[in-house]
Amino acid sequence: MTRAGTAEPAALISALEAVVRANAALVRRLSARAGIHENALRALVLIDDTGYSTPTELAGYLGLTSGAVTNLVDRTAAAGLVERVPNPHDRRGSILRLTAEGDGVVRGYRQRYTALLTAVDAAHEGDLVTLLSDLATSLYEQAGDSED
């Protein structure tokens, strides 16, 4: 364990890359367990976070084309994970909501993450929320910095 602010830059980058890879592995495992693609799992989580979503919002969030999102929505709807309902603000469009089965998939995802984050937080004296919040803020700031 290093003192605050004394970690080597290469070690910091390596640790972050390890977290990104480990998270991707867990998402692969959880999506495979649910019988869906990783992007479908991410879409279900977004829909759960917002209560509903439009295909356009999913495309932006997932970085997919409208055609790819149409296929994703068709597959998740056919699997009984989401339902399409008319968009009250755009009669040409639809909004997506989770079904009870889709809610169960997201609930399992959240339970797995809750367990692992709670364990890591306890091991680090309750500082994980602050650390992750600071990291997210810094990442968003860097993503929005158009001068680099």
Q: How confident is the model at residue 147 (pLDDT cuts 50, 70, 90)?
A: low
For range 98-113, the mean pLDDT: 97
Q: What pLDDT, on the 0 to 100 scale, is given for residue 4?
A: 64
Q: Which tens digit of pLDDT belongs to each residue from 34-75?
A: 999 999 999 999 999 999 999 999 999 999 999 999 999 999
53 SS3 class: strand
Q: What pLDDT, on the 0 to 100 scale, is given for residue 7?
A: 87
Enter the tokens of residue 79: 């699997």
For range 21-35, the mean pLDDT: 96
As a three-state string, the secondary structure of 78-146 is HCCCEEEEEECCEEEEEEEEECHHHHHHHHHHHHHHHHHHHHHHHHCCCCHHHHHHHHHHHHHHHHHCC
Residue 84: which region, alpha, beta or left (left: phi > 0; alpha: psi -120 to 50)? beta
User: Taking the CB of residue 55, how many other CB atoms lie within 10 A of it?
Assistant: 20
Q: What pLDDT, on the 0 to 100 scale, is given for residue 6?
A: 82
Q: What pLDDT, on the 0 to 100 scale, is given for residue 145?
A: 74
Q: How confident is the model at residue 3 (pLDDT cuts 50, 70, 90)?
A: low
Global pTM reads: 0.87
